Structure 1
Amino acid sequence: MSTTNWAPEACTLPTAEQPFRVAEFDALFAEHLTGVARVDPTTLELTLAREAEAATADLTARETECCSFFHFEITPNGERLALRITVPPTQVAVLDALSTRYG
């Protein structure tokens, strides 16, 4: 797994569509990401602008459909939005790649 395509083998999104999904995350985070914190080996917390709530909810819902091991928790907090991403220990490499790419 590379930081260019952090999709794990367990992902059911067709391979041809994976770069487009990564590009969606790239665009969302390029415009709205304000902080990244690695809470523990299986948890990454991102802080985004509150205005990204609908886009974040849509994108994470679609991501869960193809990568069911992801658990996304979105918590509004004033003008910010916390996006907590949790994975099982077998998928820590995915968070490592996300953290490297967006951190």
Structure 2
Amino acid sequence: MDEFTVWVPTACTLPAAEQPLRVAEFDQLFANHLRSAARVDPHTLDLVLTPESRPTAEALTTKETECCSFFTFDFTNTPAGNLRLRITVPPTQTAVLDALTERLPA
């Protein structure tokens, strides 16, 4: 099983050739802007990102929603001025959220 098998479910409409590029976009967002992460429950992941990440994060999540409509991405500001990105998936897609969580930097 390659690294994209779990990450990219069959419900995804993104062409296979573009899937590694999308994963790399998430990796770059995490590397450049992630402050903290918390798995709220099996279906929910909260990320705290730098405030300047908003345009990049919004553009990326918009693209991701177009090909994987099961994702829900919600943005709010934290009291400290950071950006909170809450990612939710339905119960049938928790493996995808697991794979995304595994890509977060230690």
Normalised by the length of structure 1, the TM-score is 0.93
User: Which structure 1 residue ranges, 4+ long, deviate > 3 Å from structure 2?
Assistant: none
For residues 14-65 of structure 1, the C-alpha deviation after alignment (integer angstroms, 9 at most, x for no partner) is 0000001111111111000011100011001111001000110110001000
Cα distance in 2 for residues equivalent to 1:92 and 1:28? 21
Aligned to 1:10: 11
Aligned length: 102
Match of 2:100 in 1: 98
- How much identity, in percent, do the aligned residues show? 61
CA contact under 8 A between 2:51 and 2:81: conserved in structure 1? yes
Give the partner amino acid of 1:100: E
- Pick one of 80, 83, 92 that aligns with 1:81: 83
Q: What is the TM-score normalised by the length of structure 2?
A: 0.90
